[in-house]
């Protein structure tokens, strides 16, 4: 899966497997029962989450969310989504909301100063800095995703190994 030439930060994949969803769920539950010290598996009905734990886990470590959709009697459509650590994701969302709110506030201030025919240079400067920080956040998120590529491939190999057994 080539990820460096994509704009999306959350990567998805789809896979059709010639096995019933209940059998796939049982395979993941069996793997969970092995008490692996490198991976944590969480299951809930048609959903499975694979996490990296222990000394291998870094702040950029991804997790893999799988959703099983039965399509035919012995056929399952699997939707996979790689995501960042929830704490990191929440932090980034918080920063985006703060930046968006400040951007709107300074747009209102800019409009007020424009109507009042006041100097607009400070407003443009602040808006430029906010926009620059937003762009920097995007590239930081891409770098974090790039750092997690090896672990993402590791989770994909684990997922394929579990469903093939």
Q: How do residues 87-101 score in pLDDT, each as one tens digit?
A: 888 999 999 999 999
- Please, which residues have CB within 8 angstroms of residue 109's CB and are 6 or more apart in sequence? 123
Question: Residue range 16-27: average pLDDT?
Answer: 92
Nearest Cα to Cα of residue 11 among 161, 156, 160: 156
**Residue 11 has what pLDDT?**
83
Beta bridge partners, 77, equal: 16, 69
Maximum Cα–Cα distance for the chain, whole Å?
Answer: 72
- In a 3-state reduction of DSSP, which class is residue 84? coil
Which helix (H) or strand (E) segment holds residue 140: the answer is helix 121-147
DSSP 9: S
- In a 3-state reduction of DSSP, which class is residue 38? coil
**pLDDT tens-digit profile of 46-69?**
999 999 999 999 988 999 999 999
- Please, which residues have CB within 8 angstroms of residue 110's CB and are 6 or more apart in sequence? 120, 123, 124, 127
Is it the case that residue 4 has pLDDT exceeding 70? no
- In a 3-state reduction of DSSP, which class is residue 59? coil
pTM: 0.77
């Amino acid at each position: 899966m080539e990820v460096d030439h994509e704009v999306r930060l959350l990567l998805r994949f789809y896979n059709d497997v010639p096995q019933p969803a209940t059998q796939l769920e049982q395979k993941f539950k069996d793997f969970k029962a092995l008490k692996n010290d490198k991976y944590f598996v969480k299951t809930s009905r048609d959903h499975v989450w694979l996490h990296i734990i222990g000394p291998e886990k870094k702040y950029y470590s991804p997790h893999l969310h799988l959703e099983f959709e039965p399509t035919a009697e012995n056929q399952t459509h699997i939707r996979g989504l790689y995501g960042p650590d929830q704490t990191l994701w929440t932090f980034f969302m918080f920063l985006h909301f703060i930046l968006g709110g400040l951007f709107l506030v300074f747009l209102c201030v800019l409009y007020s100063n424009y109507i009042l025919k006041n100097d607009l240079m400070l407003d443009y400067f602040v808006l430029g800095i906010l926009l620059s920080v937003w762009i920097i956040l995007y590239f930081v998120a891409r770098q974090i995703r790039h750092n997690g590529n090896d672990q993402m491939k590791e989770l994909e190999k684990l997922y394929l190994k579990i469903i093939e057994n």
